[in-house]
Amino acid sequence: MTPAYTQLHHTFTRLSRFDHLSAIAGWDSAAMMSPQSSQARSEAMAELDLLRHQILTDARVGEWFKDVGHENLNELERANLHEMHRTWHNTVVLPDWLVEARTLAGARCEHAWRTQRPANDWNGFADNLREVVKLARQEAQIRAEAAGTSRYDAMLDLYEPGLRAADLDRIFGDLKTWLPGLLQQVVAKQAQSTPVPLQGPFATERQRALGLQVMQLLGFNFEQGRVDVSTHPFCGGVPQDVRITTRYKDDDFLPALLGIIHETGHARYEQNRPGEWLSQPMGRARSMGVHESQSLLFEMQLARSPAFLRVLHPWVIEQFGQQPALQLDNFIALNQRVKPGHIRVDADEVSYPLHVILRYEIERALIEGEIEVDDIPTLWADKMQQYLGIDTRGDYRNGCMQDIHWTDGSFGYFPTYTLGAMYAAQLFQAARNAVPGLDDAIAAGNLQSLSGWLKENVWQHGSRFSTADLITRATGETLNPAFFRKHLEARYL
């Protein structure tokens, strides 16, 4: 009889092949697809999703998970089995009707949001969101009962396995004691001199050339990936062929450039996942938080540092010529500008965690049933005032309706952005401690030792270790917000 582990290995290999097709079709939908194809594409993707669901929920898979307990596995196989089981459990625990209802409610909510947001129509939006929240609570309840955790913990576990709301309360609680004050200090300091703004236009072709040059510097493997354009930039594709995207603005080249650097961080993680395990769950990136730590390490820790900006500066001048905004000091100031605002995705690295803490506190309470959808606007306005010092009353469009993470029921996802920022600070400091002369190498435009350290300590491990173990092995301790605080103070005060 074929061992159960072999059967599971085969099943997940098969799934990874369908994932490959799904990833490429998903990239194509965003970067290449003609509008007339969207209906047919959705149907094809849904058929593939259904197939993957059927493969995982086949009764034999459950049997194999029972039988595999008696088999002798080495450490890597055990780690793989753990990840297989997590994937399987997270899928089979939900009844089919709930998966369908959730998809439908999310699609309806998002579709209506497209016109409700410009119309600032909170009441209309709330009607749909209530249904989404109702189903998300049912999902969370089912997951929580199976895991023996709270509802929100069960959702959080989907995106950052092992992390609990209690951890977040401690970590974000720490941030809340000093970050709003630090933000006000930085704003006051930067008020003394406003940088000269960029004068466009900046030709797309030159922006693209600059982006490619920077990707090369950052070690993106062009034999194993490409960069294209999409409305919402992302990192997709498959580890053997990573597809990042960006979006070019005529009047400012920095969003595309920093966006490319961000996605290149994600891409290098993907390109360097463990080669022998790519067909298996253990070969996957560890978590959303760890993934974001790699993009933010590249974008925030590295690319917005004066040392790196000095490396970029002559390339920028070469593409766009000199202008007052591109005097070196001004160029650095533009990249380190801190300005609290309404919109999370436009936020600087000092404000960003405060947006996330606000979302976390509201979504946790929503899922735990402590508040209702109708309570969101008041809570939102209060917290924006308290954390960011901004009056957002009545402006739903740029308030709680600004993005779609809640409309599709992805509660538990927001915290990973700030976990990523904090892991990034901690990892970057660990790399500096471990690699002699790292800062000098970066200042000289040599990123190989940084890449080498990241590959050794993060990328090559896939999901072999838990996030806590991965971070501890790499940095000597579990997540410690002090590194993030030190980074912000050093850069901005």
| Catalytic residue positions, numbered | 263
Q: Which residue, 105 or 300, has its beta carbon nearer to Zn ion?
A: 300
Number of Cβ within 10 Å of residue 202's Cβ equals: 22
Min dist. Cβ of residue 278 to a copy of itself (A) = 7
In this structure, what is the dihedral angle of CA atoms 434, 451, 437, 326, given to the nearest 10 degrees? Answer: -130
Per-residue binder mask for a copy of itself (CB under 8 A), 42-61, x = binder: -xx--xx--x----------
Q: Peptide bond preceding 201: is omega within 30 degrees of 0, i.e. cis?
A: yes
Pick one of Zn ion, a copy of itself, none as the site partner of residue 39 (Cβ within 5 to 8 A by kind): a copy of itself
Cα(207)–Cα(312) distance, integer angstroms = 13
Q: Cβ(107)–Cβ(128) under 8 Å? A: no
Which of residues 360 and 417 has its CB atom nearest to Zn ion in the complex? 417
Shortest distance (Å) from residue 226 CB to a copy of itself: 6
Which of 11, 295, 392, 402 is close enough to bind Zn ion by CB under 5 A? 295
What is the footprint of a copy of itself within residues 1-20 (CB under 8 A)? 14, 17-18, 20
Q: Which of 10, 40, 199, 318 binds a copy of itself (CB under 8 A)?
A: 40
Q: Which residues contact 479 (CB under 8 A, 6 or more apart)?
A: 167, 171, 419, 422, 423, 426, 468, 471
Give phi and psi for 343, each to the nearest 5.
-100, 120
Least Å from the CB of residue 292 to Zn ion = 5
Compute the distance between CA of residue 455 and CA of residue 274 in angstroms, rounded to an integer.
10
List binding-site positions for Zn(2+).
262, 266, 292
CA dihedral 206, 210, 211, 215 (to 10 degrees): 150
**Which residue in the set 6, 10, 32, 184 belongs to the binding site for a copy of itself (CB under 8 A)?**
32
Closest residue by beta carbon to Zn ion:
295
Span from 30-38, 277-285, 291-299, 422-430 in contact with Zn ion (CB under 5 A): 291-299
Minimal distance, residue 43 CB to a copy of itself, in Å: 6
Closest CA to 227 of 273, 272, 260: 260
Measured from the CB atom, the residue of 38 and 323 that comes closer to a copy of itself is: 38
The string of DSSP letters for 14-30 reads HHHHHHHHHHHHHHHHH
User: Which of the residues 231 through 270 are near a copy of itself (CB under 8 A)?
Assistant: 238, 240-241
Q: Which stretch binds a copy of itself (CB under 8 A): 34-42, 185-193, 261-269, 359-367?
A: 34-42
Q: Helices in 118-200 by DSSP H: which ranges?
A: 122-147, 151-159, 165-190
Compute the least distance from the CB of residue 25 to a copy of itself, in Å.
6
Binding mask 288-327 for a copy of itself (x = CB under 8 A): ----------------------------------------
> Total number of residues binding a copy of itself (CB under 8 A)?
32
Give residues 66-95 in contact with Zn ion (rule: CB under 5 A).
Answer: none
Name the token pair of 468.
Answer: 């806590």
Q: Which residue has 């030709």 as its token pair?
A: 203
Between 137 and 344, whose beta carbon lies closer to Zn ion?
Answer: 344
Q: Does 37 bind a copy of itself (CB under 8 A)?
A: yes
User: Taking Cα atoms as reference points, which of 126, 128, 125 lies closest to residue 115?
Assistant: 125
> Which listed residue (203, 278, 326, 328) binds a copy of itself by CB under 8 A?
278
How far apart are the C-alpha atoms of 349 and 323, rounded to whole Å? 26
Strand partners, 249: 252
Q: Which of 440, 489, 188 is nearest to 307 (CA)?
A: 440
CA angle 240, 241, 247 (to 5 degrees): 150
CB closer to a copy of itself, 224 vs 398: 224
Query: Is the Cβ of residue 227 or residue 350 nearer to a copy of itself in the bound state?
Result: 227
Task: Identify any residues that bridge with 243 across adjacent strands, giving them in sequence order.
Answer: 226, 236
Gyration radius (Cα) of the chain, Å: 23
Distance spanning both ends of the chain, measured CA to CA: 66
Determine which helix (DSSP H) or strand (DSSP E) holds 236, and give its type and residue range.
strand 235-238
Residue 295 binds which of Zn ion, a copy of itself, none (CB < 5-8 A, kind-dependent): Zn ion
Please pick, from the candidates 162, 166, 197, 222, the single residue that binds a copy of itself as defined by CB under 8 A.
222
Contact residues toward Zn ion (CB under 5 A) are 295
Contact residues toward a copy of itself (CB under 8 A) are 14, 17-18, 20-21, 24-25, 28, 32-37, 39-41, 43-44, 47-48, 51, 221-226, 238, 240-241, 278
